[in-house]
Chain A
Amino acid sequence: MKITFKSSLTILITIFSIFLVFLLNDEGEIPILFNLLTFAGIYGLAAIGLNVHFGLTGLLNFGHAAFMGLGAYVTVLLIPHAAGREGVVITTGLPFFLALLIGIISAALFGLLLGLPAIRLRGDYLAIVTIAAAEIFRLLVRDLESVTGGVYGIINFSNSLQQYRSGFIDNFASANDLNPSQIWIAFLSWTSIILVLLLLRRLTNSPWGRALRAVREDEDAVRALGKNAVWLKLQSFMLGAGIAGLSGVFLAFNYGTIQVSTFVPILTFYVWAIMILGGVGSLTGPIFGSIIFWVIISETNGIAQLIFENANGQQIAGVRFVLVGLLIMLLMIFRPSGLMGKKEELLLDVK
């Protein structure tokens, strides 16, 4: 990331929003901050994956929740867990990192499958296909109770990952009165973000990355130069889906349970809001977008209390989604390039 006016301003806004957490909360600032940083890490990773689809390649993907869900379900089902109404305990399983690898590969393969329509369809049609495919995924997961636990979900799988937790995480957590499992997830997701970003920076600066951006700008020109535009699109779909799968795994381990209701369209819209806020097409944008987004989310409770006396959970959730919707609309109307995006790199028209 070059230090430009835009990036310094973004960093300033991010720091200010973190400062806001301290300003608006009288007590428990540190737990609130680390809770939101955990979510920011997980969702930021998902937004980076979405940015590979939309920002780098121009593929309109509204089924991101399904990629995250598939990665999470496959990984968790391969390690020891308990699933379903009866809580059937399965004690045998693969080592965590092997399961994670298979989970990510499954998400990527699902990306390949969903990428097939992308070869033929124009942007807005692809949006409908991806959101429908995500809905089919959700309905099937809900329906196949014998495998996925259906609406009862899956529990008791956290230990496979938490057993690797380092001592310094425990020390840090106990010193600050935090939940060590969550801090471990936060640490892993932010580490993954750094690794993924390093990988993506290499990729986007390579001939492959340039060809990908060329697909976004003018597919026919890419074809004319003898590049396989179809295969490039599919590779992009797989890469982004794999990153989403990884973030889905972290999301599941952060909750400690896995539920159908986690991987719903609203999750996709959260990730979209983060990506647009951070900047479409910008590699580092989603990180800042994610932190600022989660500061807003974590303060909705206070906003809801301003509107309703003693707001209940449903009202708080309502206010939160109203804000997210408003954020998406206003950004798209007034600043579609977000904080870090380049206006000239925006692909917002149907090709």
Chain B
Amino acid sequence: MIEQLGNGLLLGIIISVASVALSLLYGVTRIVNFAHGEIIALGAIATLFLSSPVDSRVIFLDRFSPLGNNFYISVFISVILCGLFGGILEFFLFRPLRKAEVGNIAVLVVTIGLSLFLRHIYLLFNAKPQNFPLELQRRETYIFFDMTPRNFRVLILGIFVMVLIGLFLNYTRMGKAMRAVRDSNDLASVSGINSDNIILFTWISSSMLAGLAGVFQATINDVRYNMGFLILLLIFAGTVLGGIGTSFGAMVGGFIIGIVVNVSVGLPFMEGHTEAKNAVALAIMILILLFRPQGIFGEKERVS
């Protein structure tokens, strides 16, 4: 069970970062974004495209050649690109919908269509699972769990990013404005906050975080067109567990889900059923929704 803890922490950091992003967006816009997974995949695919060696023509329809940039610069550009993409989505799709006063459920269905659309655009470009152009590394022991040095760095970087988000939300003007819009859009507008700008900023930052989560996921595992959709439900589980709309809750919830998924493999009734490990996390999510819909850290509100 303990050897699974390292894997659990790694999955946890991916889900945590992605859950915080999803939770921020939900908190401010009330949109349940099913296309979140596709922004995650975009981060990984863009990094792959920017950083793969120029002569590796297997990706992108054999038509476009990868660019062979430095890996870290590629990650940086990809995360910016994801933010830009999120901004474009808000500006050209979700803002007009909001102005037309389209209801939340209709927007939810739109994000499902968007998810299906984007995911299979990726499929048309790149169907095979691929790895980032990074050398193989041997696992080493950190405290009491095993992982490669690179994955350990991912873990540390992820925790660092989340501390930054926490500080940002609590101590900067923008962060406070975001929380104000989350608590009450009308009251925030009355106090002179331009909620359109805040929402645009939320989309951009949420998408950048999602892109970063995608880079993490692809570094730990690999790049697939459906990599975001595969963990989307776990991200929902993390978000719901911590309390949907709360950032700190989403961080903790994401970690718990990551660890539960991997550690559940060691449970007696799971012996020989490792394929079904995600089911445990999803079952926990459903139970939480049934008995404590506000999650661990959420405040009680009417959800029925």
Chain A residues packing against B (C-beta within 8 Å): 60, 62, 116-117, 119-125, 127-129, 131-133, 135-136, 139-140, 142-143, 266, 269, 272, 276, 314-315, 317-322, 324-330, 332-333, 336, 347-350
Q: How far is the CA of A350 from the CA of B30 in the complex (A)?
A: 10
Would A321 and B120 be within 8 Å (CB), given that A117-B286, A132-B285 are in contact? yes
**Interface of A: prevailing SS:** helix
Mask, B85-119, CB within 8 Å of A = 1, is 00000000000010000111110111011111111
Instruction: Identify 6 new A-B residue pairs, CB closer than 8 A, beyond the known A120-B303, A136-B283.
Output: A116-B290, A128-B285, A321-B116, A322-B116, A327-B113, A328-B116
Taken together as a complex, chains A and B put the C-alpha atoms of A132 and B279 apart, in Å, by: 8
Q: How far is the CB of A237 from chain B (nearest CB, A)?
A: 15
Q: Is the beta-carbon distance between B113 and A117 smaller than 8 angstroms? A: no
- Pairs of residues from A and B, 9 with the lowest C-beta to C-beta distance, nearest first: A325-B117, A328-B113, A325-B116, A349-B103, A329-B113, A348-B103, A321-B120, A348-B106, A143-B276
Knowing A129-B289, A314-B123, the reply to whether A124 touches B276 (Cβ < 8 A) is no
Is there contact, CB below 8 Å, between B116 and A324? Answer: yes
| Most chain A beta-carbon neighbours within 10 Å: one of B116, B123, B236, B237 | B116
Query: Given A127-B108, A314-B127, does the pair A139, B278 have CB atoms closer than 8 Å?
Result: yes
- Complex CA gap A116/B289 in Å reads 11
Residues of A within 8 A of B110 (CB): 328-329, 332-333
CB-CB under 8 A for A347 and B105, given A121-B303, A133-B286, A325-B116? yes
Interface: B121 (CB within 8 A): yes
Q: Is the CB of A135 within 8 A of B282?
A: yes
The answer to whether B303 and A349 have CB atoms under 8 Å apart is no
- Write out, one digit per residue, whether chain B residues 49-81 have a CB within 8 A of any chain A CB (1) or not (0): 000000000000000000000000000000000
CB distance from A331 to the nearest CB of B (A): 8
Q: Would you list 8 pairs from A and B whose C-beta atoms are within 8 A, ordered by A residue?
A: A121-B293, A129-B285, A136-B283, A321-B120, A322-B117, A322-B121, A329-B110, A330-B113
A327 to B112, CA, bound (A): 11
A residues in contact with B121, CB < 8 Å: 318, 322
B273 neighbours in A (Cβ, 8 Å): 143
Q: Which residues of B contact A266 (CB under 8 A)?
A: 116
| In the complex with contacts A350-B103, A350-B104, A119-B118 CB distance below 8 A | no
| Contacting residues, chain B, for A131 (C-beta < 8 A) | 233
Q: Hey, which chain A residues are within 8 Å of B240, CB to CB?
A: 125, 128
Q: How far is the CB of B213 from the nearest CB of chain A, in Å?
A: 19
Q: Are A128 and B109 in contact (CB under 8 A)?
A: no
